[in-house]
Amino acid sequence: MNGSTPETDPGRDSRHRVIAWALVGLQALILVALVLLPSGTSWKVGGAVSTLAAVLFWSGGALAVGAGLQLGLGLTALPLPSPRGRLVTGGLFALARHPIYTGVILLSAGIALRSANPVKVLLVVALTVFFAFKARWEERRLVEAYGGYAEYAARTGRFVPGLGRLRPGGHT
């Protein structure tokens, strides 16, 4: 569990930064579309649906914020290890390697459910697939940066406890 970053050539590092910013931009586009698309009428929103949407929204928000606070100075918008960061494996990170992504997915699912718009539900599915891709890309950098990351990933699910553990060789 060291906090050092790997030695890399400058070209590779700048290429990774460009890719990282592109990933952040695509994520922002999906989230903005999710928020700005109008509500629909595809299902009745009330009672249990409204309650479930609120639970998803608020629990997802709390999870994302709590996990962000646990990262402290290591929190960054980019899916790259922060020079100020350290490998965090306790708290929410003992349950999932990417609890912030899990929180954003839950929050987004609450928005989509409350909206009664099937396009928003599809955006949540797209966001989940996108986060799976983004997390895999990010984890390759985390394995390089933190000596204990591969062992941590082998015992900890990606978004949900027990699911998506990293197998030897870096595959899920």
Q: What is the pLDDT of residues 43-79, one digit of tens each?
A: 899 999 999 999 999 999 999 999 999 999 999 999 9
pLDDT in tens, 110-158: 999 999 999 999 999 999 999 999 999 999 999 999 999 999 999 999 9
What is the predicted pLDDT for the residue at 10? 44
Which pLDDT score is estimated for 13?
85
pLDDT at 9 over 50: no
Tokens of 137: 């890309």
Q: Which two tokens stand for residue 41?
A: 């009428």
- On the CB side of 141, CA atoms within 13 Å amount to 20
- Can you list the alpha helix ranges (DSSP code H) found in 37-117? 47-71, 99-115
Region of poorest pLDDT, from 21-30, 53-62, 160-169 = 160-169
In the predicted structure, residue 93 carries a pLDDT above the cut 60: yes
Closest CA to 74 of 58, 87, 61: 87
Cα(27)–Cα(142) distance, integer angstroms: 20
3-class DSSP assignment, residue 161: coil
Rg over alpha carbons for the chain, rounded to the nearest Å, is 17
Is residue 161 within 8 A of residue 99, CB to CB? The reply is no
